[in-house]
Amino acid sequence: MTTITLEVNGRIVTAEVTPRTHLADFLREQLMLTGTHIGCEHGVCGACTVEIDGEIARSCITFAVACDGARVRTIEGFDDDPLMARLRDAFATSHALQCGYCTPGQLVAARDLIRRKSSEPDLDIRTEMSGNLCRCTGYAGIVEAIETVTAEAPAVPALPTERWAGPAPGPGAQPARAAATALMVSSSPVRPPSSGPVRGVAPAVPARQIKVEVGPVTVENGETRFTQSFVLEHPRGDVWTLMRDPARVAACMPGLALDPPGADGRLAGRMEVKLGPISAGFSGDGTMVRDDGAQRMVIEGRGSDRKSGSRASGRVEYTLSETVTTSVPATRVDCVIAFTLQGPLAQFGRSDLVRDLVGRIGAAFASNVDARLRAPDATLAPAELGGVSLMLGVLWGRIRQAVLRALGRAS
């Protein structure tokens, strides 16, 4: 057995592997990252495509020991990637998958193609994607989806010329790795310095962590209630200008899309929720009551997910007040949230899970509001609530707490 240490989806992993273990098997069987699929195991079909140090590679013909010290990114590691979010949307819209077996590899390869070559006028998507086989779709939808995203996405600089091709070169190739890794520090698409403005793509603004306080969670008669507060280092007037507008608020909430308000002020929209193995899309409507004098908003809504049969209703009330942080004028946002879940997703109404989840969702929302206030045209986090990363974050937080408690270090 050989001990290897590598970074997988942003997490440092140390493990024992046999010299003949392939990266795909290591990812799936030791790290349980089963989004990487295995088809041919001969490097032909592309189902196992992952990113290694910023370049795509076939994990079925890459030895795990060769990745010692490398940075590996699987399909699960792209949950927060704006370009991948656009590709996923386009794949859904263009019906670019049927059984979905080839899809993780198609997405990773397509993202790589767009990053490198979207500015090439004669880009031949069919040829470029010919290393990824699909038994179901006939490719038309896949090509259409990639064309759609290519039309709006920027290219990135070419990787260093001394880069390796194919499977990872092992620990001996550190300089090339370091150079490749340097280009991959941001998960957002980067454009060449001389290429000028890019159509339809605003620059990303670095996210700032905003601390969110979550009050006690109570569950009574099926309704879950809690309070949530955070402070934004922006004047109260600026924050209210954003938070009085439901469309702008929705744009900061992961997973939420709002239709333009109707003439009667009613709101309609859709909330995508993906928690571990469960995904749901709630369609529904609601009302809002705004008090500009008190800078207070109350939004009520209800919706259902036809696929899972889950129903949800809820009420969010938030009020702004002035505060000061390190002598900067700031705004405190106090929220009272109550909701009811029925159906398969009702298990997420349990108070212990809610507290973990809402803290993370609230932090993502607060961070997006902060980013939007700093740069109104900035690119925000992808509009997907949770996904694997959220659930894993929750679980990881719990495991960490348990370990700290066992060591007598928990608060």
Q: Given the rule CB under 6 A, which residues bind ligand FES?
A: 38-41, 43-48, 58, 60, 97-103, 134-137
Compute the least distance from the CB of residue 129 to ligand FES, in Å. Answer: 12
Which residues, in sequence order, are CB contacts of 158 under 8 Å at separation 6+?
A: 116
Nearer to ligand FES, 98 or 340 (CB): 98
Longest distance between any two alpha carbons in the chain, whole Å: 68
Compute the least distance from the CB of residue 217 to ligand FES, in Å. Answer: 41
Residue pointed to by tokens 């009574």:
220
Compute the least distance from the CB of residue 49 to ligand FES, in Å. Answer: 7
Compute the least distance from the CB of residue 100 to ligand FES, in Å. Answer: 5
Nearer to ligand FES, 107 or 231 (CB): 107
Tokens of 92: 């859904």
Compute the least distance from the CB of residue 48 to ligand FES, in Å. Answer: 3
Compute the least distance from the CB of residue 97 to ligand FES, in Å. Answer: 4
Nearer to ligand FES, 94 or 295 (CB): 94
Tokens of 137: 């779709």
Tokens of 404: 């700290």
Select from 327, 325, 82, 320 the least CA-distant residue to 210: 325
Select from 180, 202, 181 the least CA-distant residue to 191: 202
Residue by residue, DSSP assigns 268-317 as EEEEEEEETTEEEEEEEEEEEEEETTTTEEEEEEEEEETTTTEEEEEEEE
Nearer to ligand FES, 99 or 328 (CB): 99
Q: Point out the residue whose Cβ comes nearest to ligand FES.
A: 60
Query: C-alpha 315: how far from its chain's center?
Result: 25
Compute the least distance from the CB of residue 85 to ligand FES, in Å. Answer: 20
Nearer to ligand FES, 29 or 120 (CB): 29
Tokens of 148: 């759609």
Nearer to ligand FES, 43 or 393 (CB): 43
**Buried b / exposed e across 102-115, counting CB within 10 Å, b at 16+?**
bbbbbbbbbbbbbb
Question: Residue 125 and residue 360: Cα distance in Å, rounded?
Answer: 38
Compute the least distance from the CB of residue 185 to ligand FES, in Å. Answer: 27
Compute the least distance from the CB of residue 36 to ligand FES, in Å. Answer: 9
Contact 282, 305 (CB under 8 A): yes
Question: Cα dist. 256→50, 138, 143, 259, 282 in Å?
Answer: 29, 32, 28, 10, 9
Select from 132, 154, 129, 133 the least CA-distant residue to 143: 129
Compute the least distance from the CB of residue 99 to ligand FES, in Å. Answer: 3
Which residues, in sequence order, are CB contacts of 89 under 8 Å at separation 6+?
A: none
Contact 49, 108 (CB under 8 A): yes
